[in-house]
Structure 1
Amino acid sequence: MTDRPIIFSATMVRALLDGSKTQTRRLVKPQPGDIDRVFQMDDGSWHVTAHDGSHMSALRIPYAPGDRLWVREAWAKVSVAPIVATIDAPWTVYRACDNRTDYGGPWKPSIHMARNQSRLTLIVEGVKVERLQDISREDAIAEGLTLASAQIEQFWRWPEPLHENLWLSPKIAYADLWRTIHGPGAWDANPWVAAISFRVVKSNIDAIAEAA
C-alpha cells in the first residue's frame, strides 16, 4: 500500500463529494511507442510488447489496488473570527465549496496543498491500462457524469460550472471534458491512460489511519 497525492479541479472535487465520480484517468508517462499489446503480470506490474516481438518493457504505473490517494484541491487559509475564538486560529476553506467569498487573498493552487489540509481520501480498488478512446459508456459515467433530468434519461452533464452543455452520449461528454483539460487534439491523440477506480472517503488520510 502506498500513499500519494492526486490533484483534482474544483469541479471534479464536487463530483467526488456528491458521489458521482468513482474513476479518474491519468496519462501514462512516458507514453509507450509502437507496441502490440499491454498486459499485466501476476505481480501487478504492467508491460508492453513491441509489434515486431523483439522486446518487452515495463510501464510505470504509480497506482495499485489498496493505495491511498489524498486529494489536493484549490484552497485558502483564513483566521477564525474573534467572536468564534479568542486566538488567531487558522483554518482551511475550499474553492470547490465556496468560490464566491472574498477571503482577502487569492486561492492557493492545489499543488501547494499540504497533506494535513486534505479532506478527501481515495482508496484505489482497481487499475487498468487502456487507450483513452476505449473508455466504455459505464466508465465515462463513473468519471462524474450525472443525468440532466430524472425524467429525461438520455441527456448527460458535468458538474457545473465546467460545462452548461448537455450530451446524448456519456463517451462524447467525456471526450469534451478531456479536450477542456488537455487541449485541442488531446482526445484525437488517443494516448495510453491508467484508469483508476476508487472509493471516496470524506476524511483526511491520517484521520483514517487514527480511526482504524
Structure 2
Amino acid sequence: MKERPIIFNSEMVRAILDGRKTQTRRVIKPQPTLSERTGFNWNGYAYGIGSSHKDTIRNFANCFKVCPFGQVGDQLWVRETWQLIHSEYDEDEITYAPSVPEQHDSYWQPVYEVDFKGESRETRGFPWRPSIHMPCHACRLVLEITGVRVERLGDISNDDAKAEGVTPAGELLPNIPDAYLTPKGDFATAKVAFQRLWESIYGAESWQANPWCWVVEFKRVEGRGWQLIAN
C-alpha cells in the first residue's frame, strides 16, 4: 500500500466530510492519443497495442498501473486550506504558528478553513495557509482508493456527478408551485451542476475540450488523520 497527497478545495472537503463525495476526476497530463489498433499513446509509450477501444480504456488504468494517484487499496491523504494555532488560547488573543514547526508537540493544533464558514481574518484572528503547504501529520482526512479508470470528462453520468459531491441545480432553487418556473431537463441535473463547478475552476474551454481524466473512486478511512500533533 502506498500513500500520496491530494488537494481538495474547501467545498469538496465539506462534501467528503458529509459523505457526499466518493469520486474525483483529474485531467490526465499529458493527454493520451487513442487509436483503435494501437491503444493509448501516452508519455512516450504505447499501451494496449491491438486491444479494442473498451479494453484499452480499462487496461490503461488497471493493468498498466500508471495512474499517478495510485491503485485500488492505496491511500490518499487530503491537503486542504489550514493553519496551526495554539491548543490553549484565549478567544481574544489567538496565537498562530509563524512557520510550520519541524517537531511535533502538543502546543499546536491544526484548524481548517471549511470549519469556519467563511469567517474573515478579523473575526477568526489568524490567516490561512495554502493547502499545498500542509504536511502529512496535519491532515485529518485519509481516503482509500476503491476504483481507478479513465474516461472522457463529458462522459460523466448523472449518478457519478452526484458521487463528485455536487448538488443538482434544481435542488438549489426554492420550491415554486408554478410549473413553468420549475427547472426542467438538464438544468436540474447533477451532471450540469458538475459542469458548472468544473468550468468555475478550470474555465469553460476546459469542459469544451472534453479531456481524458483519471476517475478515482474512494472511501474515507475512519480513525486515520490528525488527532494531536504529538501523536
TM-score range, shorter chain: 0.7 to 0.9
Asked if structure 2 preserves the Cα contact closer than 8 Å seen for 1:27 and 1:192, the reply is yes
Q: Where do residues 97-176 of structure 1 align in structure 2 (5 Å cutoff)?
A: 97-98=115-116, 99-100=118-119, 102=121, 103-146=124-167, 155-157=170-172, 167-176=187-196
Q: Where do residues 20-169 of structure 1 align in structure 2 (5 Å cutoff)?
A: 20-36=20-36, 37=53, 38-41=56-59, 44-46=62-64, 60-62=66-68, 63-82=70-89, 89-98=107-116, 99-100=118-119, 102=121, 103-146=124-167, 155-157=170-172, 167-169=187-189
Which residue in the other structure is 1:151 paired with?
none
What is the aligned-residue RMSD (CA, Å)?
Answer: 2.8
Asked if structure 2 preserves the Cα contact closer than 8 Å seen for 1:119 and 1:203, the reply is no
Structure 1 unaligned regions, length at least 5: 47-58, 149-154, 158-165, 208-212
Where 1:141 maps in the other structure, the secondary structure is helix
Report the residue type matching 1:70 in the other structure.
W
Report the residue type matching 2:150 in the other structure.
V
Where 1:65 maps in the other structure, the secondary structure is coil
Inter-CA distance 184–43: structure 2 relative to 1 (3 Å threshold): closer
Asked if structure 2 preserves the Cα contact closer than 8 Å seen for 1:69 and 1:123, the reply is yes
The Cα shift of 1:64 comes to 1.0
Inter-CA distance 29–45: structure 2 relative to 1 (3 Å threshold): farther
Q: How many equivalent pairs are there? A: 179
Report the residue type matching 1:113 in the other structure.
M
Inter-CA distance 78–184: structure 2 relative to 1 (3 Å threshold): same
- Give TM-score, length-normalised by structure 2: 0.69
Q: From 180, 195, 200, give the equivalent of 2:200.
A: 180
Higher strand share: 1
Deviations 1:130-157 (A, max 9, x none): 1000101110110002468xxxxxx245
- Aligned partners of 1:8 and 1:126: how far apart in 2? 18
The Cα shift of 1:187 comes to 0.4
Higher helix share: 2
- Aligned partners of 1:171 and 1:135: how far apart in 2? 7
The Cα shift of 1:65 comes to 0.6
Inter-CA distance 203–110: structure 2 relative to 1 (3 Å threshold): farther
- Give TM-score, length-normalised by structure 1: 0.74
- Aligned partners of 2:165 and 2:190: how far apart in 1? 10
Bigger Rg over Cα: 2
Deviations 1:104-154 (A, max 9, x none): 432100000000000001110011101000101110110002468xxxxxx
Tell me, yes or no, if structure 1 residue 5 matches structure 2 residue 11: no
Asked if structure 1 preserves the Cα contact closer than 8 Å seen for 2:140 and 2:226, the reply is no
Report the residue type matching 2:5 in the other structure.
P
